Each structure stands twice: as structure tokens, then as C-alpha cells.
Amino acid sequence: MQVVFNCIIRDHDAQVFNPPKGVDQNIADVVVDITFGGFRHWDGVYFLHIAEHGYTYENTVAFFPLFPLIVRAVANSALFVLQYCMSYASVLLISAVIVNTVCFVLSAVALYELGRIVLANDVLAYRAAQFYCINPASIFFSAAYSESCFALLAFRGMLMLERNCWMSSAVFFALSAAARSNGLVNIGFVLHRAGRDMVAWMLLYVQSRAKLSFFGFGLRVCQLGILLVLCVVPFGACQYHVYSVFCNLQASYRDLPDYVREYGNKQGYRMPYMGQSVWCSAWLPLSYSYIQRSHWNVGFLNYYKFKQIPNFVLAAPMAMLCIWMIVSYVYKHMSHCLHVGLLPYGDACHVKKNQCHCLPKTCFVYVAHAAFLLMFGILYMHVQVMTI
């Protein structure tokens, strides 16, 4: 496990984030650290720190709050009794492992159910879920990362949309945007499905030579607008909370534990009581984009450096697999792609004896989603993230 973590090379501008736990370890804490300490590495330290103390340092703002909130809720309820025999930090670590294990199993089930609908092939859906589980990068679905939580919410949102449960789908997509920033991209599934249904609705009127109902059309547009607003509300709420913390002129250093404040001063981190941050005065004060750019050097081609070649090599297999999938799908369904997947499917891909020779047309929006994330990952992100 330690080897896997060490293979993911980070390029943080600051030193490794390792805030003190604030209390002396007892025997129970030592046992927990030996057993589960491997799950508390890299970004996991940030999530566990947020779960325990909230957003105390500006660089922690890059990590969204849903997963830490769930971890804290479980630690303060189902695992509350453990707080009498070990530190709160250890209880949070155990909680994070439990939450991610449960989320990972449920996300695999959701992916299988989604595959049965989209692929129309039980064997292929089961195989996809298997590869999802045995992927070497699945270690991050057990560590104190938000990946398992996000995957579960995203897969459930897609599944509910395939089942025409629009409101449930929007709720899951909204929660996914509170777990990870790329949850906002899931809005594309709602927009595409709405566009596809709208085209089908209009074709039905044309074929039946009936007059279009402008009232019905307006109602559908209003419903779509409500769903889209619902999808972005949690993301907006997260940004507002961060704004209220780091742009609050009334904040005091007394709001932070002494050891948290001392560690922040030692590392040179910006804390809430230090005055407003640079991004607070922007016309749209979004902390996320500023923190990613200033603390993690995320930007167009910013990651293209000689020292990052090992990370590009690490991401190459997954990138090539995605490219092959996208090219093969476009080759098989060129006409469907030219219509942006909005026209009726027509004949599906040939399936015989549980052998599928290509991805069916129903996969268009998922292929487009993968293509967008692939291009964004290659051009803007820390490229090794594509392995997760």
C-alpha cells in the first residue's frame, strides 16, 4: 500500500501537509495507526484535517466538504464510543475507512446496474464492474479520499437518469458536486438527456402533424431550469461557506486550537484571522480556482515539466485506453456522433450470445463525458489523477 502511494508523485509547492494531532497517542492510537495509517496519506491528510477542524488553512479549500462531513457524522454517531479509548483523529480515520469501503461496494453495484441498462448486456456490465473493482488505483477508493463517495453519487445519478427519475438524479448529481468539483460536469448528463427527449418530443409532433404545444414546451424548459439550479446549489453553498470563513473581517485567532495555529504559522499558511484573501475581492469570489492555481499550479499546460515525465508515464495506460475507446466508438457510430447523440438510437450494436462487438449508441453521452475529462486532465490537471 505504501508503495502505491509513493508512486503517485505530487508537485505541491509547499512542504508535505502533516498537521499535528494535538494529543499524545495511547496504545489504541498506535494500533490504529499501524493498521490503518497507510490510508492517511497525501490528500487523505487534508480530508481528515477538515473533518476534525474544518477549513483552518487556505490550502485546504481545494478539498470539498461532503466526504469530511460524512466521516465526522459517522465518527460522532456509530463510532462515538471509540472516542473514550482513543483520540478523535484515530476515530475519524476508522470512520473514513468504513465510509469508503461501504461507498466503494455500493458504487460497484450501481455501476453494474447502470451497465445493464446502457450496455444491454449483463455479462459486459458485470465485467465492467469487475475491472472497476480490481483496478490498481482502487486503493484510493479505500484511503481517506472522496473518490468512493463521489463515484457512488455520480453512478447513482446516472442510473436514476436512465430510469427517468429526474429529481433523484439531480439530487445525486448535486451531492456529487459537494464531494468533488468535477461533479459540476455531471450536469452535462441532464442537459443531454433533456435535449434528446426534446428532439424526440418534437419529432413525434412532426410525424403526427399536430401543432406544437408551447405551454408544454415552456413547462419542460422550466423543469429543466429547476433541475439545473438544484445541481449547482451545493457547489455554490460550499463556495459561500469558504467565503464566509476566509473573507470574514471579524475572524479571530482564538477560533483555532493553539497547535493548529502554531503549525499554520510555522508553514506559512494563510488562516481566517489573517485578513481577506486575494480572491475575496474578485467580481466572482470563487476560492477553488484561485487555490488550485496558486497552491497546486493547476492551469493550461502548467504541468508540462521534465520532472513530471514519470507521472505522464504513469497516466499513459489509462489515457491510451480512453483514446482507443473514444476512437472506436466514433468509428462505429460516426453518424450518431455527428448528431451529438440526440436522434433516436435506431438499431443497436450487434449482440449475440452475450458477445458485444462494440459499444452501443446508448453510450454516446458517457463517451463524450470521458473525452472531456481526458482532454481536461491532459491539458490542465495533474495528469496522474487520471489513474483514479
Question: What is the identity of the amino acid at 231?
Answer: C
48 contacts: CB under 8 Å, gap ≥ 6: 40, 68, 71, 89, 92, 93, 96, 144
End-to-end CA distance of the chain: 15
Q: Is the pLDDT of residue 352 over 50?
A: no
Query: Quick one: what percent of the chain has pLDDT higher than 90?
Result: 36
pTM: 0.87
pLDDT for the residue numbered 188:
92
How high is the pLDDT of residue 213?
A: 65
| pLDDT of residue 349 exceeding 60 | no
> Which of 107, 85, 94, 77 has the alpha carbon at shortest distance from 35?
94
The per-residue pLDDT for 345 is: 64
Q: How far apart are CA 25 and CA 83, in angstroms?
A: 13
- pLDDT tens-digit profile of 199-234? 877 777 766 665 666 666 778 788 889 989 999 999
So what's the pLDDT on residue 208? 65
Give dist(CA 156, CA 264) in Å, integer.
Answer: 39
pLDDT at site 388: 66
**Would you say residue 137 has pLDDT above 80?**
no
pLDDT for residue 346: 58
> Residue 351 phi/psi, 5° resolution?
-125, 125
Across residues 33-59, what is the average pLDDT? 89
Above 80 in pLDDT, residue 383?
no
Which segment of 122-136, 171-185, 286-300 scores lowest on mean pLDDT?
286-300
What does the pLDDT average to over 93-97? Answer: 94
